[in-house]
Amino acid sequence: MAIRHYWSMAAAAVGFRLVLVLFGGDLHLASRPEVSTPLTSIRRLAEGYWLKQASMSPYSGSMYHGSPLLLSVLGPLTNKSLIFVAVDFIAAMLIRATGRKLQIARNRSLKSLDLTEAVSNSVNVSAGDIASLIYLWNPWAIVTCVGSCTSPVENLMVVIIIYGACSRLAPLAAFGYVMATHLSLYPAILIVPIILLLGYGPDTPPTKVFRLKNSNASKTDVSYDEKSSSSRDVRQFSWKPVLHFTLWLLFWSSYVLLLSSIILNKVGGLQEMFKKYFFAEVFDFFRSFFLIVFNMNIIFMVLPLAIRLKHRPCFLAFVYTGIVAMLKSYPSVGDSALYLGLLGLFANELAEMHFTFFLFFGYIGVSLLSPVMHNLWIWRGTGNANFYFATGLAYTCLQTVLVIESSILHLNSLNRGFLYWGLVGPGPSIPLPRYHY
């Protein structure tokens, strides 16, 4: 069921951004460490662009550490923040389209389980509309847009990955993946849900659902044709779109590296870009250790989550983006704005999530405390780094609770679906749960 007055609310969100961009110049959001990081700062990008225009390496000194492509694309537009409003709007529309793709895929899966009539009688709001409005009205997405950092561009590339994979458009998914990993290395872990989305599709019930269904059907008076039809409904993994994606991945990677080489031809070259692209300001003695901890810790969670959530690859992509927002070395509120927007895609499945009151006001609390503690530590000298660190620790704990709670509730919904289908426990007299599986 579509949300009434959706376009009015979307237009109001865009208008609110425009008002802040045009008349909110004294907010100084670009200098906030929660909004702008050394890797996403538009001021550092402007410095790198100036160095390039002066025929010097943009990586000279310690100012710029981003992509050379951003220098050519956003360098001339560093004083025009309206571009980030357009980027946010495009990302929201792609999230909305992704939600519709997921809804169509879920209905198709339920039809394969002979639940068409039950699903038609249930009331579900449009998850795509909810997700896009959450993204547009998320305060963190708004301050990231107004703060003129490159996080909205990175978020857009991640959304392009998910939309392209859900639509099984290999060229688009490969383009988004190459650009997202070029701008920030962490989206590389999304390769797992991309392959699952391209191979299985956006939504595929676990094979054991059909196995149990066939087992129950064999105990009842069911015709051979119906059993054969049920067996054919089990979706097999298709390698053709994955191979197509791989070929386009190689093409886009070569193209991006070629463009980067041309841009940096006379001002340092690709070697200096790879040397200074990712960094951590720590003592040289601990530098290698911290680089491994910062950038490798995320990989340890990829395989276990992929095994458990392989039948819902889009939800797996949401979990991965949440983990990246928690564990990346230079996080910002723009990272959280992305996964909170994607969370809306599963509004129907997670409607009965616990701790929503605690999480909602916890996020508000850390959003208010973070600038206060930073001011006490840096400017007034009445606090110390532990004040700011404690706020960051609370922020990470809230994200951990959100990801774990949504994952547990999502997995429990599978068992509730089994109860309805009569595969285990009571028969189909149980009302249709709001969770599909």
pLDDT in tens, 37-47: 888 888 888 88
Q: What is the mean pLDDT of residues 192-204?
A: 86
pTM of full prediction above 0.85: no
Q: What is the pLDDT of residue 11?
A: 94
Are 78 and 42 in contact by the 8 Å Cβ rule? The answer is: yes
pLDDT category of residue 321 using cuts at 50, 70 and 90: very high
Total residue count of the chain as it appears in this document: 437
Q: What is the pLDDT of residue 357?
A: 87
- Between the alpha carbon of residue 299 and those of residues 44, 204, 293, 337, 408, the distances in Å are 29, 25, 10, 22, 21
Average pLDDT over residues 60-78: 80
Q: Is the pLDDT of residue 425 over 50?
A: no
Residue predicted with more confidence, 126 or 188: 188
Question: Phi, psi at residue 95, to the nearest 5°?
Answer: -65, -40
Mean pLDDT of 75-89: 82
Q: State residue 52's pLDDT score.
A: 84
> Is the pLDDT at 436 greater than 50, yes or no?
no
- Provide the pLDDT for residue 248: 95
Q: Which tokens go with 183?
A: 């701008």
Can you tell me the mean pLDDT for 417-428? Answer: 44
Average pLDDT over the chain, rounded to an integer: 80
How large is the average pLDDT for residues 228-233? Answer: 49
Average pLDDT over residues 359-381: 87
Distance CA 418, CA 412 (A): 10
Q: What is the pLDDT, as a whole number, of residue 103?
A: 85
In percent, the amount of the chain with pLDDT more than 90 equals: 28
Q: Give residue-wise pLDDT tens across range 146-189.
A: 887 889 999 999 999 999 999 999 999 999 999 999 988 889 99
Average pLDDT score over residue span 99-128? 70
pLDDT at 252 over 80: yes
For the ranges 5-19, 44-58, 121-135, 394-408, which has the lowest average pLDDT? 121-135
Q: What pLDDT, on a 0 to 100 scale, did the predictor assign at position 246? A: 95
Q: How confident is the model at residue 87 (pLDDT cuts 50, 70, 90)?
A: very high
Asked whether residue 435 carries a pLDDT value surpassing 90, the answer given is: no
Measured between alpha carbons, how far is residue 185 from residues 86, 113, 296 in Å? 24, 40, 11
Q: For position 255, what pLDDT does the model report?
A: 93
pLDDT at 310: 82
Judge whether residue 430 has pLDDT over 50.
no
Q: Helix, strand, or coil here: 391?
A: helix
Query: Residue 184: phi, psi to the nearest 5?
Result: -150, 130
Is residue 236 helix, strand or coil?
Answer: coil
pLDDT score, position 28: 76
Comparing 215-219, 318-322, 325-329, 354-358, the range with the smallest average pLDDT is: 215-219
Supply the pLDDT for residue 163.
95
**Which residue would you say has higher pLDDT here, 289 or 385?**
385
3-class SS shares of the chain: helix, strand, coil, % to 5: 70, 0, 30
Q: Which residues of 105-135 are buried (b: 16+ CB within 10 A; e: fewer)?
A: bbbbbbebbebeeebeeeebebbbbbbbbbb
Q: Which has the minimum average pLDDT: 197-201, 205-209, 350-354?
A: 205-209
What lies within 8 Å, CB to CB, of 191 at 6+ separation is 177
Listing DSSP states for 248-312 in one string gives HHHHHHHHHHHHHHHHTTTTTHHHHHHHHSS---S-GGGHHHHHHHHHHGGGGGHHHHHHHSTT-
Cα–Cα distance for residue pair 227/215, rounded to 1 Å: 10
Domain residue spans of the chain: 6-205+237-348, 353-437
**Cα torsion angle, 268, 271, 273, 278, sign:** negative
Q: Is the pLDDT of residue 191 over 60?
A: yes
Average pLDDT over residues 415-424: 47
pLDDT at residue 428 is higher than 50: no
